[in-house]
A = this chain, B = another copy of it.
Amino acid sequence: MNLLARSTDYAVRAILFMAQDPDQVTSTAELESELGLPRPFMRKTLQTLQKSGYLDSVKGNKGGFTLNRLPSAIRVFDLMTIFQGHISLGECLFKKELCSCVKSCPLRKEVKKMELGLLERLKKLTIADLMKDQKAGI
């Protein structure tokens, strides 16, 4: 079980890279060699980010993408939502329908409580925070 999908992770790393110097056009090829990620998948990911308004695109030769927002304005939580859909740990749904027995499930209630704490923290986390972490070493 994993909280983060690869797509989300790739997106974060691409954005982190581009945030190093914004306004510069970065191509998929560049990201591939720089981060070692599979090109076609990266491409799809970037296209999604563009459609969602996080990146501007430059078509044609020497084209690529540029970052559209301030790192502090990009919440990891939002990226997760884009790539993984609605984030919820405690909604027992199956085939897109809510489980009929939610009401008699004390476990759900507890998990919901924990979820709340987690989401609180996730929603506060931005790309800017990650950049700080990066600079701090590791």
A115 cross-chain contacts in B, Cβ below 8 A: 3
What's the interface size class on A, roughly?
A: 35 or more
Interface-lining segment among A25-33, A42-50, A51-59, A84-92: A84-92
Contact B111 A3 (CB under 8 A): yes
Bound form: Cα–Cα A122–B138 in Å: 28
Bound form: Cα–Cα A35–B103 in Å: 12
Name A residues whose Cβ lies closer than 8 Å to a Cβ of B. 1-4, 6, 9, 12-13, 16, 35-36, 76, 84-85, 87-94, 100-101, 103-107, 109-111, 114-115, 117-118, 121-122, 125, 129-131, 133-134, 138
Bound form: Cα–Cα A106–B92 in Å: 30
